[in-house]
Structure formats: C-alpha cells, structure tokens
Amino acid sequence: MSHKKNLTLFDFALFGPGIVDAFKKLNPRAQWRNPVMFVVYVGSVLTTLLFFQAIAGAGEASPGFILAIALGLWATVLFANFAESMAEGRSKAQAASLHALKQAITAKKLSTATDRDRWTPISAAQLSKDDILLVEAGDTIPADGEVIEGVASVDESAITGESAPVIRESGGDFSAVTGGTRVLSDWLVLRVSVNPGEAFIDRMIAMVEGAKRQKTPNEIALTILLVALTIVFLLVTATLLPFSLFSVHAAGLGTPVTITVLIALLVCLIPTTIGALLSAIGVAGMSRMMQANVIATSGRAVEAAGDVDVLLLDKTGTITLGNRQAAAFIPAPGITETQLADAAQLASLADETPEGRSIAVLAKQRFNIREREMASLHATFVPFSAQTRMSGIDIHTGNDTRALRKGSAESMKRHVASLGCPYPAEVTLAVEELSRQGSTPLVVVDEGRVMGVVELKDIVKGGIKERFAELRRMGIKTIMITGDNKLTAAAIAAEAGVDDFLAEATPEDKLKLIRRYQAEGRLVAMTGDGTNDAPALAQADVAVAMNSGTQAAKEAGNMVDLDSNPTKLLEIVEIGKQMLMTRGSLTTFSISNDVAKYFAIIPAAFVGTYPQLETLDIMQLNSPSSAIMSAVIFNALIIVALIPLALKGVRYRAIGAAMLLRRNVLIYGLGGILVPFAGIKLIDMALAGLHLI
C-alpha cells in the first residue's frame, strides 16, 4: 500500500472534515496561535455581544447592521480555519496509509547473529535498539535496521510506491532496511537501529501531519511583521474613537463613530488575508514535498531549499545514467568497423554487465548484427578477473579454438605481447585520445590480432543540461562531485553544463567545499547515500539522503528521498522556491488590497464626523452601512478565493530574482489594488439589489 495519494484542491473526502475542523479551531487556545486572526476572533466576539445589546434596546446601531458585521467577521475566522484544515487534511490523508504500516508485527529475535535456528517471537513494539532479528521470505521487516548478514530481495512499495523490488545486503551502501517493508526472497539478519517511536515511519507520520509542523524562521519573521502591523492598526483604531467624540462635541453636529464600525475598520485594515493563509501555505509546502516522495525531517530544510544558491550533485546516477555505455567502434588499421563490432559483440555475449550488454546492443543497432546463443557456438565464457583485467569467449570448432578478448589497453597490450603479435601504434593513439575526452577505452583482440577500440562513456542524462541552465538563470551554482580524474571530470562537466566540478573527491574534500561556500554566506544543498557522505550531509543546509542508502546517511540528512533518485534535488529546490514565492505573492496581495478598503470604509466610517470625507468615496457606494458591510464581506470571501492558490502554490518559473520581483509586484501588487475595488463594488450592488441595506 503506497502512501502516495492523488488529492484535488477540494477533495470531497476532505471537504466535510475540513468544515468540522474549522469550527473545532474556534477554541481560543487554537486561535491564539495566529495573533492576526486572534484579533479578528476577539472582534467577532465583541460584535456578537454588541448585537445582543442592540436587541435589548441599548445598541449603538441597528441590530441588523451589527449582526451583518458580526457574521462577516465570524466568516473571516472560519474561512481562515478552513484553509488551514484543508492543508492539514491533505497531509493527514497522506499519513493515514502510513499508519497502516504500523500493524501488529511479530519479530524473530536472535540471541546471536550466527545462530539463525534459535529465535524467540517478540512483538515489534517491544523491540529496542541493537536487538538482532531474523527476517525470512514473506516476513514483514518489523523495525528500521542495518543488515549484518545475508542478502535478500525486499519489496519497499509500501514506502516508495514503486513496485520493483530492491536488493538489501550486509556491508556497503545498501544495508539499511525500513520497518514495514517485506522480504520477498532469501533471508536477512539485521540489527535494530532505533528505539520504539523513533522509527522512520514514525518520523514520516509526525512530519506529514500538519498539526505537528513547526514554523520555519522565515514564517516566524513574517508573523512578527504581521503582528507589528496589527498592533499599529489596533493603536490607530483605538485612538479614532476619542477623536471622533471630541470632533462631534466641538463642532456641535454629526455623529461619533461606533465601536462596531471601528472593529470592522480594524479587521479590514490589518493583514487578515495573509494571516489567514500563512499556516496553510506552510503545511501545503510540506504536503507537496511528500507528494514528490520526499520526507523532510525538518521544516527549516523545506524553506532553506527555496534559498539554496549552491547545488552539489554526484556525477554517477545524477548527471549521468550511472553505467558506462558503448558509444563508438574505432577499428585498427586494416579492420572494418563491422568486423570490430562483430568481434566485440561475440566477446560480450556472456557479459551481463551493463557495459557488456551495451556493446552487444550498439553492434545490433549500427550494423544489424544479431546476437548469437553461446550454446550454438560451442563457446566457453572467460570471466573478468582482477589479475588479467580482461574477459571474453573461447569458440570451439572441432580441434580449433578462437579466443576473443576485450579489456583495458594495458592488459590487452600485455596479452598481445605474450602471443608474440604486434600492437598497432594507431590503437595506442586512439586509446590516449579517448582517455583525454573522459571516455573509457576497451581494446578488442581476436586470436592475437588487435581489432580496435570500443569507446565506453558516461551518458549524460537527457534534458539535464537544460535543467542546469534554468538553475543558472535563477542564480544557483551547480557543482559536480566525482571520484574520476580531472580530465574525465572536466569532459563530463562540459557536456552536462555544470558550473564547476570537484574531481577525485574524498569525504574530507566534500566537507571542506561545503564549509567554504557557507563561509561566503551561501546556502548549500547536496545528495548522498553512503556512510562516507554523512559528514558532508550533516554540514549541508539542505541534505537529501537516499532511502536506499545507509542509516548513517539518513540520520545525517534533513530530507530522505524515498525514490532514491539523486536528481530529485532539483525538484526539491523548485518546491522550496515555490513555497517562498507563494508566501511572498500572497503577502504582497494582502497588503495591497488594503488600499481599496481605505477608500471604501474610511469615508463611510467617518462621514458622520467629517462630512468632507465623502469626496473620497470614489466607488460611489450606496450608503455608509453598505460600504462597511461590503468591505467586511469582501475581506472574508477573498480568503476563500485564495485557498486553492495557497494549497497549490504560485507557479514556479526559472527566472532571475529581479524579474520575479517585478512580475509579482505587477500581478499580485497591482492585482491586490484593483481586485478589491471591483469586488467591493459588486458586493455593494448585490446588497442593494437584494434590498439588504
């Protein structure tokens, strides 16, 4: 059962619970967590009390007007709660299937790792760190751990959503197993690496449930700004009542402003729109990360991803396909390309490595040379060995044997010399040229005769160069990390289009490079899967560990990619930037739309005290009461209108910061000014048409 679930913006399965949760969040303790909306909440309570006072005959205005304002304010609070509930609902729906993985599992506990025949049944909930367990074919792995013995095929679809099984074995970078996954074949002995409640699934559930999400530094900073604006407007509004009373008394005409109108003015002037949607934006950002199959173990990491300006990417599997592929046949003098391809394919018939298979495929594609069965050739496979550094095939025909070999240039040179055959200088030159280009040359020999060279090269992933160009336009520097020599690294870096590279990289080199960029005030992101990556992952601002990697790597990182796809780092950066763009765009819109409210509500509120303010009523609203009611209603409805944008996020565009700022100011700044003028006017016309004013 995969944790991934396709959710629409207003999934009907979430709509009902979202409404219920919106009312549950009316608890004052829940409202206090959002200071801006808490002010609106208090205003709703006060206007409700003023309504009951008006019914009793001691009201400051008509009961109908006060009721309309009170309902508008309560709607504003409920819509803000609904936005947060919808965002949390999407995360909780993703977490629901994860809870299913924490089923009652019986583990097989061993007293020693060497004695697999004696085990004791124990509940998975009673396991503790360093317990030794046996899991066999068909068993569910009861807890996170490290394989210390055995090799097995494991179904991780419950975690990753991918149906293809993976191999887990002791030693190396593929020894970590996750609780809730299932062994398909063979057996494993593993050591539990976590205590109950600290497993990877527990961390996943805690992070995707919005209620447990901690605010990030940028969100805290924005909240402080919104609170400061709210306090300023609160003080300004509070001083308007005595000014109004004094002006009416001094002039001897007009009517003072009412408390109901002042509350409506305050709510319309404080940044309620972004205040209502701020939490939903953050929760939705975590949800989008989860939909990308990435678990962020830190909310700071999601936000930092949006500010990253240096990306460290491993070459193998990230920039290149991961396996060297045959790219060209370079024949020796007197040999045709077809003859070389035929000999190379024969030498690779029993070679099941990706490189060997690619040679056979290239010969078939270029010259339509069909693969042949070894049995029909009466052949014997000669496997690769570290001593000979070559492999090949011996074809038996009667009493004769045809020996075909392929291998490194040095090993084949020694092989040819041992047979007393010549080694063409042209082949030596071809080998040197391919090495300078970053390719791997394989020399093919048929019965002592050098046939030529097969070029193996790291194939750069399609479209990766364009992705790096997008990142460059955003001001992000890309650095390729590889263990290759500098010549090979330079060739691949040039083909991939990265900005820089680190060749012959050691764990110390990676750590030193990250610290150097951080000392310059830059935020660094990197991926890793091995224990040797752990120091660099722990140092990086955004550290994405592969789920297939070691436990040390996953603990050092602040994100875990369940798909174990190193290129996911590019998508993570985009999600982080999208969250920051959404927050900034809606903040711009929220502050801008106050301009229209000034022209709607201030003339209406104070025209009784200062008749000259009527000239500011540029929207020509029907009456002061209608203007105030229209502004309050618009203030509530705009939150609902922006909920889909808060959940989906502002569309990400790979453009520079200056152009992005101009674009957002134009769309959300200018739009935030114009939309309220139209909206308030339409609501005023609707109220007049329905005879509600």
Show which residues are catalytic.
Answer: 314
DSSP codes of every residue in 615-678? GG-TT--S-HHHHHHHHHHHHHHHHHHHHHHHHH-PPP----HHHHHHHHIIIIIHHHHHHHHH
- Extract the tokens encoding 233: 């407007």
| Residue 112 DSSP class | S
- Extract the tokens encoding 161: 């959503």
The separation between CA 222 and the C-alpha centre of its own chain, rounded to angstroms, equals 22
DSSP reduced 3-state for 134: strand
Q: How far apart are CA 423 and CA 420, in angstroms?
A: 10
In the chain, the amino acid numbered 173 is D
Positive or negative, the CA dihedral 641, 644, 650, 652 is: negative
> E-assigned strands of 170-296?
176-177, 182-192, 294-296
Please check whether residue 477 is in contact with residue 311, taking contact to mean a CB–CB distance below 8 angstroms: yes
Question: Which H or E element spans position 391?
Answer: strand 390-397
Please check whether residue 589 is in contact with residue 668, taking contact to mean a CB–CB distance below 8 angstroms: yes
Question: Which H or E element spans position 393?
Answer: strand 390-397
Residues 292, 297, 302, 303, Cα dihedral to 10°:
170
Positive or negative, the CA dihedral 514, 515, 516, 520 is: positive
Q: Specify the pairing of strand 379-382 against strand 390-397.
A: antiparallel
DSSP reduced 3-state for 298: coil
| Residue 7 DSSP class | -
Number of other residues whose CB lies within 10 A of the CB of residue 14: 21
β-sheet bridge partners, residue 106:
123
Q: How far apart are CA 50 and CA 58, in angstroms?
A: 9
- The candidate with the shortest Cα–Cα distance to 367, out of 402, 331, 418, is 331
DSSP reduced 3-state for 439: coil
The separation between CA 388 and the C-alpha centre of its own chain, rounded to angstroms, equals 46
- Extract the tokens encoding 686: 């609707």
Please check whether residue 75 is in contact with residue 45, taking contact to mean a CB–CB distance below 8 angstroms: no
In Å, what is the CA distance from 181 to each residue of 98, 129, 153, 160, 219? 11, 18, 11, 10, 36
- The candidate with the shortest Cα–Cα distance to 652, out of 591, 593, 589, 572, is 572
Measured in degrees and rounded to the nearest 5, phi and psi for residue 186 equal 65, -150
Q: Residues 6 or more apart from 267 whose CB is under 8 A from it? A: 39, 40, 43, 73, 76, 632, 635
DSSP codes of every residue in 148-198? EEEEEEEE-HHHH---S-EEEESSTT--EE-TT-EEEEEEEEEEE-S-TT-
- Extract the tokens encoding 620: 């020509």
